[in-house]
Structure 1
């Protein structure tokens, strides 16, 4: 081992070695049981940040753990590179707009951009030491993925689970596309309740609204049938201010008597309540909001204006007309698009949907069939499913994505679907290659693309090469584990469960591991869009080492959020320095040691104790890692290394190693035996956390005897520890700690001689103590030891 560890040189050399040796290559389950991992394909929407490192590293530790437990680990990596996030990245980087150029040219620009970003992403993940099998890499925009995704869609059409209809849809006027319920975020906004004077039966009917710009879209006024204030108006007509047309006054038990004035204007469409009322009561649609966020030009007084401009203009006209009675400032929750923060509108549109509402009970049952880590995260999923109000809208009015494999007959308007053997297809560039059932051969291509979640939701099928020539579904499905962040439980977790149940009839994975966020400050998640992540991951790796970042990432409890600053890497670097120096010390004393050769080792009780502590730690760490608690597992490994190995064992056997003439050659060999196996055990335990430095130390010495080219090819072996030896070691530590404490309080050197040391111990431990006299005397500088029961 070098005097000083050069992580920059070593990490690069080991990265190349692991790749050349194929250490992490999946072997198709030929010799070992398979553990498959559904890895989140990161969205190609900007630079990676420490938050990505945090969650991906935690999951990667599980991959390493499972491999060292003897599994053939199927560990792929993908890139989610189609859809709106990528489009916006390309537009921002290139200074172009997709709407202003031919679709084929824009797609070409997207492919160039994602190639550069994905190369950077892959390089960073490799530098971080992710033990991915890169031969399993996929893109959500590749031909193979498009074919699998389009085939899966056609399956849903045949099952009558995917359908197209024209109906009110959630719409983002900024992104100019339909969105799904899962893409909504509720945001608190300052607003105003505007009290408007409608006229009904010769009296003023006061109605409060925050959306006066929708006045022209009023189709009804609702009152609660139990509200005595308005019972006499039920079935009558009300006149809309400014516009003067009449609308019916109807009753509905969902009209709140406590909100506003209790009389509610129903406009098409102000919110989801309006859509529900319109469907329930068969009310007409009056167009006000256009897809681009302007008021329809046919709307008198405000046509052509942007929404907020129209709101102010209509209020001015209402005030001038005397119809604006009063205004009250208020704060309320508004649905916004999570991608851009724009207030979401509801407009009629023809879209493709996947039916989820009819199978809610099935999805809830699936939650119980999956093991959630942490367990409380399941409640978020259950709450989401129980509160679903819309089927899943999967079509998007965008440019760069997976096209729907469908055309519409010019004559009869019926959809014509692509034949499976022609997939993947792009309807904008080719026809269906067959006539419609009506005989017509002219078609209109579907221009919408799949929502990006509609593609990433089939990631288990993509990994399984679903219905491809090399389908491996039987090998890896259901997958062993999915890891993801908690904010996409309602999207990626839910949608993947839906698709897996619909396509395979089974859950997608047995376990789901939910990580927390890295926060820049209280309540603020580090994100690509906010650029609040500090140094980039690659800069952090080059400055502090991959191992330092990985050790930090393992510190948090699973599912909990954490903060990050470079200062937080100090404990990591202190640990790495300690591990290196302790290993150098150990290997210095192992230079003349050859396992199974030379002097027969005489193992003293303290040697046996430290070996049992390794067994105990392996057993306890395994139990925690099976629950995906890599942070708590690291904590107990740290206790073994820092306390038992460094603070006690090494200090106890130092003299035995340095002075065999005093203690005996066999006793020195016993210390070497324990040192060899304990350090190797500690390296194996830490290998999943800090793979570079542990493999470097292994290859510096142990490889000659263990034969495997890398530490990461060795296995964890769990054995039941000897409880009496563990009790002895624990008691001995208390004795030594007591001596150290007393010397510290007396301000004496630790080497200060003790004329007589009296040790009181349980009778069952006496046999160990009587064999440990020389070790204890050497460690405490005691000149005489008396043992008492």
Structure 2
């Protein structure tokens, strides 16, 4: 047994333990049919800059589950990937290089993207390793890698040929800043200050006031709507009304969706101000009048405001209306608008030709799939259900960007029919590879698709990517559904939803059995930590330079699953440091009494030693129940209670006299205490190993490995016992109650815990009399009572 340092130096020790794990290949995935597989679908972090403490919080919780399952007999398949394609990576590269993607050759920009994202991936990987993640890094993948591209392109072709993916020119959600189409799941809501502008529309010499927040769209008005039950306007339904400033006529139509109470009850329908305009456009087959271009500026043929940005155009139209006496009044208001989650730009709706995946026609199937998955916490399923039920758009999967997985499709130059790549060509870039063949119309010229796939169109295939990786590692059994998906709750509408969609279409099954939903880290009430909000100043890298990873990990396991938590560095350091110091010192004490211990010989245990062993097993059983439901924080608190209260506060105080003074208590009694101390320490370390893997490994290597033999504590299994011995547990509680009474008395009388007291009364079951008689040496030694009186009852 090695000599223990006075203090544990985590910053020095942790890299040594990580090196040990790599050398011993402790976490390498090896196919083994004798053990059940536990496969984890981990979110590949988006490569868009540095990570923040929120990433550490959620990813570490999932990593603890991997360790827990490994130490409970499972063959854990734990790959890790990086989501390095698409708009987030583009924006990162544009920020670092100062050059817009559109201003450099596409091939050159792609090379820069691969180079820069590769640098960040290396940093991410180093961070996860420093955190002690038990991944098999040989299973690493990237969503822009050749294999992932092949899988993604094959998925698209299968869906397109089956009619589940389709090409259509129609109005689409559009970000003018990123200049690309986006999906409904990429929308965020934002409250902005604006004005309700009251404008006179004229019908048969009568003025009908229209209140709008988007007067810049006057030129795009195609009709005016009123509620059919609104008595004020019934007489005008079907008549023509003149649009002010531009002086052209549009029809007055009726629709029940118009609010009689809101505004004036008269609503202009422009193409397109919002999703309601789009609904009316589709429902009533209305004409389209172009106002806003894809770059966010006003079309050249729009009088007064051509070429202006939307905001500038709004300001100018309001000025013109006021100047011409057409602004009846203007009211300030705050209202909610849809913005692109990536850049915060207000989203427009403009016509564009895009590829979609049909989701609106399979809502019921997607709801049933959600019901077939186990959601942890269960309440998170409601978020998924609400998202599916409220879908209004099919999934737009094409992006007018530069770096990503290319669409494997070319279009006939004559008739426009799409032609798809052959399976043998994948992965393929149509911009670099010509299509060979002839269209049904006889044309032999083809135009390559220049758009790229939405990054989620590839990330939604991570179970398939993982399956492919597993087969490369020699695992040939069916792999989907995977065992568990872990993710944060804000991407239920994207990553969870899209993966379920793809799994339904391709496999007709659920993608995973369980979903573990983690919470956010908050900077302050209601505000999550994120780089975009500028409140993620303390980076994980800087934290790891000054604090051991185990400190951060211990903090990350402090909350209930799915709940948000605050990050306070001082609180983290105080609680984690106190725990690690206590674990180190308690381990030193226990191991100092094992120099002549023989683990191969189990002595007859005294009752209180039996209680300590049983308490460890009871905690392991209860922690298992919680961790099977992914309640990492609740399980940790149970283990803390065992360690702090039962082992440190009570049992060590009870047994130390026996360990130090066998000449008084007897050698057999010392051997009993040795065994219980050894058992308790080893198994408490195993319980804590999923939370603080470095310090538990180090203690194991220095003091327990020689007794156990396994090269790492992380290759051991939790011991839970077959069933609970409720009787010995009750005895232990009676013993502890006697200690508590003694401590309370001495505290109230300002006595030292070593001071003698005249009398101690102990209440216990009559059936425990013999056990207390066997425990008199321990009771006398730890209470210093001159007389101990027992009150037994049935």
Matched, 1:178 2:167: no
- What is the CA-CA distance between 1:754 and the residue it aligns to? 2.5
Equivalent residue number for residue 14 of structure 1: 17
In 2, the alpha carbon distance for the partners of 1:93 and 1:323 equals 48
Secondary structure at the residue paired with 2:365? helix
Equivalent residue number for residue 728 of structure 1: 731
2:598 pairs with 594, 599, 602, which one?
594
In 1, the alpha carbon distance for the partners of 2:496 and 2:715 equals 32
2:578 pairs with 570, 574, 580, which one?
574
Contact 1:465 1:473 in 2 (8 A): no
Contact 2:734 2:763 in 1 (8 A): no
Matched, 1:374 2:380: no
Which runs of structure 2 are paired with 1:370-519 in the superposition (5 Å)?
Answer: 370-465=373-468, 474-519=477-522
1:118 pairs with 105, 117, 121, which one?
121
2:679 pairs with 668, 671, 677, which one?
677
* Superposed CA offset, 1:731-764 (max 9, x none): 1101011101101111111111234333232212
In 2, the alpha carbon distance for the partners of 1:143 and 1:428 equals 16
Instruction: In structure 1, list runs of 5 or more residues that go unmatched.
Output: none
Secondary structure at the residue paired with 2:785? coil
1:667 pairs with 653, 658, 669, which one?
669
2:702 pairs with 690, 700, 703, which one?
700
- What is the CA-CA distance between 1:578 and the residue it aligns to? 0.3
- What is the CA-CA distance between 1:788 and the residue it aligns to? 2.9
- What is the CA-CA distance between 1:472 and the residue it aligns to? 5.6
Matched, 1:302 2:302: no
* Superposed CA offset, 1:541-582 (max 9, x none): 231101000000000111111111211221011000000000
- What is the CA-CA distance between 1:469 and the residue it aligns to? 7.9
In 1, the alpha carbon distance for the partners of 2:456 and 2:499 equals 9
Q: 1:644 to 1:404 in 2, by over 3 A?
A: same
Equivalent residue number for residue 196 of structure 1: 199
1:526 pairs with 505, 526, 529, which one?
529
1:218 pairs with 213, 217, 221, which one?
221
Matched, 1:34 2:37: yes
Matched, 1:610 2:612: yes
* Superposed CA offset, 1:339-361 (max 9, x none): 11111100000000000000001
Contact 1:35 1:476 in 2 (8 A): no
* Superposed CA offset, 1:209-256 (max 9, x none): 111110011111111211121111111111111111111111222222
Q: 1:473 to 1:333 in 2, by over 3 A?
A: farther
* Superposed CA offset, 1:330-388 (max 9, x none): 22111111111111100000000000000001111111111111111111111111100
Instruction: In structure 2, list runs of 5 or more residues that go unmatched.
Output: none
Equivalent residue number for residue 654 of structure 1: 656
In 2, the alpha carbon distance for the partners of 1:388 and 1:681 equals 50
Cα RMSD for the two superposed structures? 1.4
- What is the CA-CA distance between 1:701 and the residue it aligns to? 1.9
1:743 pairs with 739, 743, 746, which one?
746
Secondary structure at the residue paired with 2:268? strand
- What is the CA-CA distance between 1:172 and the residue it aligns to? 0.6
Equivalent residue number for residue 315 of structure 2: 312
- What is the number of equivalent residue pairs in this alignment? 787
Higher mean C-alpha deviation, range 540-549 or range 120-129: 540-549
Contact 2:30 2:473 in 1 (8 A): no
In 2, the alpha carbon distance for the partners of 1:467 and 1:4 equals 42
Please report the TM-score for the alignment, with normalisation by the length of structure 2: 0.97
Contact 2:139 2:469 in 1 (8 A): no
In 1, the alpha carbon distance for the partners of 2:791 and 2:258 equals 84
Matched, 1:136 2:139: yes
Contact 1:465 1:471 in 2 (8 A): no
Equivalent residue number for residue 693 of structure 2: 691
Contact 1:46 1:529 in 2 (8 A): no
Higher mean C-alpha deviation, range 521-530 or range 483-492: 521-530
Equivalent residue number for residue 777 of structure 1: 780
Which runs of structure 2 are paired with 1:49-88 in the superposition (5 Å)?
Answer: 49-88=52-91
In 1, the alpha carbon distance for the partners of 2:372 and 2:787 equals 63
In 2, the alpha carbon distance for the partners of 1:583 and 1:468 equals 42
